[in-house]
Structure 1
Amino acid sequence: MTQEVRGVVARTENAPVETETILIPDPGPGEAVVRVQACGVCHTDLHYKLGGISDDFPFLLGHEAAGVVESVGAGVSDVAPGDFVVLNWRAVCGQCRACKRGRPWYCFDTHNARQPMTLTDGTPLSPALGIGAFSDKTLVAAGQCTKVDPGAAPSAVGLLGCGVMAGMGAAINTGNVGRGDSVAVIGCGGVGGAAIAGARLAGAATIVAVDLDRRKLDSARGMGATHTVDAHDRDPVDAVRELTGGFGADVVIEAVGRPETYRQAFYARDLAGTVVLVGVPTPGMTLELPFLDVFARGGALKSSWYGDCLPSRDFPMLTDLYRQGRLDLDAFVSETIPLDGIEGAFAKMEHGDVLRSVVLV
């Protein structure tokens, strides 16, 4: 039976979002309906609203979420009604060339629910990242549901669904940060802060946080940064080199997504070091580097998609670390808000006032 629930919809480009009645169908084969408990307000949702990702309006926003499975369709065996889950936007297919090579975190054919959620007049909604979790309930592919410890706070572990996992994975999975390494993180918002926390978990000895916002640098210390650099006052490349014995960092994580900060990351790494790009550029940006420098400095230039995570492996592990007190996910939650508070959360995000606003449904 189709259900009527509330959902936050972006109808047209850059128009204020609206809380509307939406229709959720019963789950079909391979699908699940999830009762949403909490959902973080991510920059990606703002990009959808601004038309920066696609023009498939109207969008049902929200994707960084945790909740409880309400019902499942035919053929679903990995999750069942009552399971507490974190939602992910890369349900792996198990059949593509990456999956068959044993590297499912690079799956080239991830999928979402096949049935549409709609407005009451039948207009199909485009769910953000195939999730659409600024809603009482949402319809997803069952593979987008990852079971985690039900004792965890939804407002905290829901953040693993996107930003926190992207940052932590950039350090642990993509950057392969190891014990004793030096790490620099350029851009210390939610994703950059998570990269710092990931570097600390991995055992990095020196973690340099770089940003223009002193508030973010203060929070970076709480995440595990050993040093902070205010880019207003010092050249980030010179500062990182000075703090790493003149050599540069073993791993530099760029969490801004701009050519100028990527150049800083490139030159702030040690010879044969690694640059990890996890900040998302906008269409039209271009990068220019001296080709000889790319050759002569060696090492690796990597892009990190979703922190190169495998949700079935990483979400439960990080949730367990959170439950053990070894990973402070609560520190990323700046405020909790109701479903109709998202426009205000977008404004705070643009002004740099929050790491994450989290909607409690």
Structure 2
Amino acid sequence: MAYEVSGVVARAQGEPVTVEKVLVPDPGPGEAIVSVRACGVCHTDLHYREGGINDEFPFLLGHEAAGVVERVGAGVTAIEPGDFVILNWRAVCGVCRACRRGRPWYCFDTHNAAQPMTLADGTELSPALGIGAFVEKTLVHSGQCTKVSPAAEPAVAGLLGCGVMAGIGAAINTGQVGRGDTVAVIGCGGVGDAAIAGARLAGAGTIIAVDTDARKLEWARSFGATHTIHARDRGEDEIVAEVREHTAGFGADVVIDAVGRPETWRQAFYARDLAGTVVLVGVPTPDMRLADLPFIDFFARGGSLKSSWYGDCLPSRDFPMLIEAYLQGRLPLERFVTERIPLNGVEKAFERMHRGEVLRSVVVFD
């Protein structure tokens, strides 16, 4: 028996999304049906609509979601109907070379549901990041469901499913920010602000926010930035010098590039202390190239240059811990939710996101 529900579909590149009937099959072995309670509007969903991920239209958009397990398929034991879960797009396989080496956060063969969800005419949908959660019910692999405390508000909890987790993890997991460290974050949208919140949670002493938008710098302060640098109309050398001014002339222990452009990465490279760490969590486009850097600088400055994949997170480890920090008042996840919208409000939310007016719009289901 298939469930007939409403979902947000992108039928063609660049065209406005539509709310359409979606057929969701009964869960097969290893699968689960989740009744979605809330789903954040992420830049990745817009990239899908614009054809920036792949061309496998039509897409069922949405992936930053929390909900309640409704049914499970054969062989599923880790979750059961009634569990409150956050959905994730890195359900680890447990058997690939990364998993066997004890590094499941790098899993190279993550799981998705085997069965497709379809439109009413039978057209198969490509679910965004293997989830597809701008829909009343979605079909996922059971490993994509992480059980957390039901005391968390769904609109808040679901944000750990992508951007917020990417930023927090960039600070805590990839950058390994520690107590008393100095941290600079370049780019203070949702991911950058999450990195700031993560650095604060980890006990960083100085947290420097860098952005070209004064409003975003105010947001950064609300998440824990101790200093801000307004970068508009300023050269790279000026920005690096100011980071050094706020770190006793040395540079930051960890610099997180949440923009992902060659110029911001260079700023990060030179704004760190000797033996410091650069973390790239902003996603570059395929055409971008790093300009020449003196090779001696790579050697002489030492330290680490890292890329952060989804905050190097392990959902089963990180989601429950971060939800508990939120419930204890130590992690202000609720501040990321700028507005709550209905299912038919996604297209307008894309426009507000593109203009930088929101951190997150969140679709909330009754």
Q: TM-score range by the shorter chain?
A: over 0.9
Give the deviation of 1:233 after TM superposition: 5.7
Aligned to 1:43: 43
CA offsets, 1:7-32, max 9 Å, x none?
A: 10000001000000011000000000
- Work out the number of aligned pairs and report it: 361
Structure 2, unaligned runs of 5 or more: none
- The one-letter amino acid of 1:253's match is I
- The equivalent residue for 2:183 is 183
Shift of 1:242: 1.0
Alignment of 1:158-169 (within 5 A): 158-169=158-169
Of 351, 356, 363, 1:352 maps to 356
Matched, 1:269 2:248: no
Q: TM-score, normalised by structure 1?
A: 0.99
Q: Percent identity?
A: 76
Aligned to 1:19, the other structure's residue is in SS state strand
Q: For residue 89 of structure 1, what is the aligned residue in structure 2?
A: 89
Question: For 2:361 and 2:296, how far apart are their aligned partners in 1?
Answer: 44
TM superposition shift of 1:150: 0.5
Q: How does 1:223-302 map to 2 (within 5 A)?
A: 223-232=223-232, 234=234, 235-288=238-291, 289-302=293-306
- 2:147 matched to which residue of 1? 147
Question: Is the partner of 2:300 in helix, strand or coil?
Answer: helix
* 1:250 maps to amino acid: D
By how many angstroms is 1:290 displaced?
Answer: 2.5
Cα distance in 2 between the residues matched to 1:236 and 1:254: 13
For the residues of structure 2 that align with 1:76 and 1:360, how far apart are their CA atoms? 27
Partner amino acid for 1:62? G
Distance 2:255 2:287 in 1: 24
Measured in 2, the distance between the counterparts of 1:191 and 1:343 equals 21
Q: Deviations over 1:234-290 (max 9, x none)?
A: 532111111111111000000011111111111111111000000011121111232
Residue 323 of structure 1 is matched in structure 2 by 327
Q: Distance in 2 between matches of 1:54 and 1:338?
A: 27
Partner residue, 2:337: 333
Which 10-residue stretch deviates more, 90-99 or 226-235? 226-235
Distance 2:247 2:69 in 1: 48
AA of the residue aligned to 2:16: P
Give a deviation string over 1:268-316, Cα, whole Å, max 9, x none.
Answer: 1111100000001112111123222112211100000010000001000
Q: CA deviation at 1:132?
A: 0.3
In the aligned structure 1, how far is the partner of 2:281 from the partner of 2:66? 23
SS of structure 1 residue aligned to 2:7: strand
Cα deviation digits, residues 23-63 of structure 1 (max 9, x gap)? 10000000000000000000100110110010111110000
Aligned to 2:64: 64
Q: Distance in 2 between matches of 1:238 and 1:19?
A: 50
SS in 2 for 1:334: strand
CA distance in 1, matches of 2:188, 2:170: 13
Which residue does 1:309 correspond to in 2? 313
Structure 1: which 5+ residue stretches go unaligned?
none
TM-score w.r.t. length of structure 2: 0.98
User: What CA deviation, in whole Å up to 9, does each residue of 1:324-359 have, x standing for no partner?
Assistant: 111111100000100010111111111110000011
Q: What CA distance in whole angstroms lies between the structure 2 residues aligned with 1:311 and 1:153?
A: 18
Distance (whole Å) between structure 1 residues aligned to residue 113 and residue 169 of structure 2: 25
